[in-house]
Chain A
Amino acid sequence: MKIFKVDKQDWVAGVEKLFTAYRLVGPVNEGQFHNFKKLNKGELPDFNFLNTRLSAKSLVHSQTEAMFEYSLDENKENHHIMVDVKKDYSSQAVIGIRPCDAKAFLLVKRNFDTSQYRDPYWIRAYESLTLVGLACHNPCSSCFCTTSGCGPFHEEGLDVLLVDTDDYYLAKILTDKGKNFLIASGWDTETDADGGDQKIEIMKKAAEEKITVLINTDKLKAKETIALYDAEFWEEVAFSCINCGTCTYVCPTCWCFDIQDETRGKSGIRMRNWDSCMFPLFTLHGSGHNPRGKKVQRVRQRFMHKLKYYVEKYDNGIQCVGCGRCVNLCPVNIDIRRVCELMNAYDPQLECPA
């Protein structure tokens, strides 16, 4: 695919133009950290960040999303009928998403867009996006994307990859959506005459080399599920966990939600809210029984889901892109890299000699 050279002098004018074709979203400095926010005319995405505090998942799967609305007023037409809530699914361009967050959408898609089930809310929102990625030159020491099926210059899931070369941006078009984005911005005029591809390759290598934390996932798939489930180390892993939902809420690949109806007076909505396997209400049965009633069971669910069940079910890697958010934000420092190592290396034979 084509690579264009975007002069930094043309940046502001280009973003300005994009507002006529898209709703724009980008990283915005919120004081102590950056998050994705809708950009208003005149605003620019702020690229002075390592990664956003929260992932980009809420652009597709917001923490609270109304699905239906209803009226209980018998004088109204359609009363007692759930009606789709109207939403804006017009084209949206996300400028400055990191490759890990873009790849995360693909991992989630495997569950939300299958041959059997298609989640209409997720799919419509996802399809409205054009993802313009920003390559990472300085990955954090908590990043382990290169061994999680991703990388600081990873292209999968992106429509355009932007690479900051200091003097200008290189914009690599990866899809038709990406091509349209470049046309709309007017940045599609100057092709990089002197081998943009090679430049990107060199910078990519340099960035990848900075990632020194590697995880091993090669043995996860072949492990016997029950043996891993029964492993002794879960008690130790779970000890410090306080069962908050931080790790799952900041994770770009955690997808669980809970459906709730809320009625006020005679009208109401049916919505879905993020849920987390760390919470006591998660999988609580109507009978009052909860198969995951204890902390250790919840912690195990999180890691088994990401590093074993998902691996087995989709046969396409782990449910983690190595963004490191959970590592940095867990209040008690439970580190998925360490747990992954424990799981990958686990050998029940060694644990309990007969």
Chain B
Amino acid sequence: MIDYSEKIKEISKRLLEEGRVDIVIGFKKGTVPMMNEPCLVKSSGEVEKFVWDSNCGINLANYLTGRNEKTGIVAKGCDSRNIVTHIIENKIKREQLYIIGVPCKGMIDKHRVAAMFDGEIKVVDEKDAKIIIKGENFEKTLDKESILQSNCSICIHRNPVLNDELVADPVEEQRDVDRYEDVRKIETMKPQEKWQYFEDMLKPCIRCYACRNACPLCYCPTCFVDEHRPQWVGKSQDPTDLRTFHFLRAYHCAGRCTDCGACERACPVGIPVRQFTKKLEKDCLELFNWEAGMSLDVRPPLDTFRPDDPDDFIK
């Protein structure tokens, strides 16, 4: 990872010095274990800030909204797919961007790791494919693969799909991954069971909207839950309003979600919100053979009509 960091600094420095870009968006080292902070660099003197390791789970495409400078952006596989989505949704122009692609081997699931230990985790280091976790009275070395964010362990697009330069050779993509085991399990539930499953899942939600705001797709100037004239959704902890928020948000991501996992990573109470978006992602794949953010040249299924679109669901 050290070489990734060095390479990111080197490329950023060059781009800024040559005037190819005005700013570069990347990560800087966090102040607590398993956290890095997105940061913006304006001059080559500041590039030393940049780091790359297994704690860069936030999706940087989220920071492109509203930018009008020539922008360099560090992008792992999923970020690059969300950048593609931003481009085809006319949020930003391809020419405005210089994409520094990072072949990715997954990000650590900080929620899961924290829950594995009784005491506080003070330091998390990584070396090759091992993660070393230290607390006051314990030290444990784990295989990185065993503590990946669940979206990373089933990721099949680890290499940036769109980039101007890669920081390293592409990594091997994971093959024969069963991406939808959990969704299928829910699909087989009876309606009442499903209802209960989602009720239990949403119970701890405090409606902080971190999941929505961490999502690069949620760039609407006014989200439907914040609309107040007319007010579509109540603002309290009423379960109906809570469900409405989650269900509708998921639908707004249909055919656009890249399963980057930023939402789950951001949630302060560990709600697996991808359970909603993944179902829609699976439907898009099965119905339209569509994976979001893979190409600049194909329009997404939800903004095109083709005579052969499946319509079996219309009874």
Contact = CB atoms under 8 A, between A and B. Distances in A.
B235 A273 contact: yes
B156 interface: no
Nearest to B234: A262
Given A246-B210, A249-B208, A239 B40 contact: yes
Contact of A140 (B38, B120, B214): B120
Interface in A256-292: 258, 260, 262, 271, 273, 276, 279-281, 284
6 contacts: A30-B204, A32-B111, A236-B40, A245-B210, A260-B236, A332-B214
B270 A249 contact: no
A331 B265 CA distance: 7
A244 B214 contact: yes
**In the A-B complex, the 9 residue pairs with the closest CB atoms:** A331-B266, A244-B210, A64-B236, A242-B213, A240-B38, A333-B37, A333-B35, A64-B237, A333-B30
A333 B32 contact: yes
Interface in B119-137: 119-120, 122, 136
B236 A271 contact: yes
Interface in B187-240: 204, 206-210, 212-214, 222, 226, 228, 234-238
B122, B206, B267, B268 — most chain A CB neighbours (10 Å): B268
Contacts of A244: 208-210, 212-214, 266
Interface of B: 30-32, 35-40, 58, 62-63, 111, 114-115, 118-120, 122, 136, 204, 206-210, 212-214, 222, 226, 228, 234-238, 265-270
Nearest to B36: A333
Nearest to B29: A333
B37 A240 contact: yes
B36, B237, B265 — most chain A CB neighbours (10 Å): B237
B210 A242 contact: yes
A328 interface: yes
A156 to B, nearest CB: 25
Contact of A327 (B32, B136, B214): B32
Contacts of B63: 239-240
A279 B37 contact: no
Interface residues of A, number: 44
Contacts of A243: 213
A246 B235 contact: no
A260 B235 contact: yes
A281 B120 contact: no
B268 A258 contact: no
A311 interface: no
B148 to A, nearest CB: 17
B226 A281 contact: yes
Interface of A: 30-33, 48, 50, 53-54, 63-64, 138, 140-142, 236, 239-240, 242-246, 249-250, 258, 260, 262, 271, 273, 276, 279-281, 284, 327-329, 331-335, 337-338
Nearest to B206: A249
A32 B115 CA distance: 5
Contacts of A50: 119-120
Contacts of B204: 30
Contacts of A236: 40
B138 to A, nearest CB: 13
Nearest to B120: A140
A270 to B, nearest CB: 11
Nearest to A326: B268
Contact of B234 (A53, A260, A338): A260
A246 B37 CA distance: 16
B38, B119, B136 — most chain A CB neighbours (10 Å): B38
A138 B119 CA distance: 9
Given A331-B267, A333-B32, 10 more contacts: A33-B115, A48-B118, A54-B269, A63-B206, A138-B119, A239-B63, A246-B266, A249-B206, A273-B235, A276-B208
Given A239-B39, A243-B213, A250-B268, A141 B120 contact: yes
Given A138-B120, A249-B206, A262-B236, A242 B269 contact: no
Contacts of A250: 268
A245 B208 contact: yes
A58 B22 CA distance: 46
Contacts of A242: 62, 210, 213-214, 266
Given A32-B111, A141-B122, A332 B38 contact: yes
A329 B40 contact: no
Given A54-B206, A64-B238, A249-B208, A332 B58 contact: yes
Nearest to B55: A333
A273 B237 CA distance: 8
Nearest to B229: A288
Contact of A337 (B31, B209, B222, B235): B31
